[in-house]
Amino acid sequence: MDESQSAAVARLLLQREVEEWLFHEAELLDERRFAAWLELLAEDVRYWMPLRRNVRAGEQAAREATREQRDIAWFDEGKETLRKRVQQIETGIHWAEEPLSRLCHLVTNVQILADDGAELRVKSRFLLYRNRLQEETDILVGKREDTLRRVAGGLLLARRAITLDQNVLLAKNLTFFL
């Protein structure tokens, strides 16, 4: 096998590793295995979802999404806040999760944007379906830009920026993770 073939095989293996990591994460969230999910997060993780606005054509890049660390966001959390959200959900008395939601995360269009040897920048699309009670159904669609950090034994999520493809959140709450 020549050098270009070896590089192509390495890229395919890396792509598969990243996809498997994202699919595993989705399965953990669907199965409500939050303790295992938290183990996939770096201690310094940043989990952020800006609000989106309807803006005039030509203004999307500058004004469509709220600015990181400057404007309000749907959430802007670290690992400790995520841990507390999980603890609250797992009490069994969280009003928005009693009875529990049924979730299905679909992840697709996985692209590796950059690899510096220590961290990977990854972009993907998602669809989250949630059903609760008899008539409560939410569908959220969007994209994520993740930074996955290489550590002994695998990858950890160091950063996630989530962009919804809607500007008005129709879900009654944000008790789920994307």
Q: Which is more confident, 3 or 156?
A: 156
pLDDT surpasses 70 at 55 = no
Q: What is the pLDDT of residue 105?
A: 97
Q: Answer whether 103's CB lies under 8 Å from 29's CB.
A: yes
pLDDT in tens, 69-113: 777 778 899 999 999 999 988 887 776 777 778 999 999 999 999
pLDDT surpasses 80 at 167 = no
Q: What is the pLDDT of residue 40?
A: 98
pLDDT surpasses 90 at 162 = yes
How many Å separate Cα 29 from the centre of its chain? Answer: 10
Q: Answer whether 99's CB lies under 8 Å from 136's CB.
A: no
Q: Answer whether 121's CB lies under 8 Å from 147's CB.
A: yes
> In the chain, what are the domains?
3-164 (3.10.450.50)
Give the pLDDT mean for 46-66: 71
Tokens of 7: 């590089």
pLDDT surpasses 80 at 31 = yes
In three state form, how does the secondary structure of the chain look?
CCHHHHHHHHHHHHHHHHHHHHHHHHHHHHCCCHHHHHCCEEEEEEEEEECECCCCCCCHHHHCECCCCCCCEEEEECHHHHHHHHHHHCCCCCHHHCCCCEEEEEEEEEEEEEECCCEEEEEEEEEEEEEECCCEEEEEEEEEEEEEEEECCEEEEEEEEEEECCCCCCCCCCCCCC
pLDDT in tens, 103-142: 999 999 999 999 999 999 999 999 999 998 888 899 999 9
Rounded percentage of the chain residues whose pLDDT exceeds 90: 61
pLDDT band, residue 53 (cuts 50/70/90): low
Give the pLDDT mean for 62-69: 66
pLDDT surpasses 70 at 59 = no
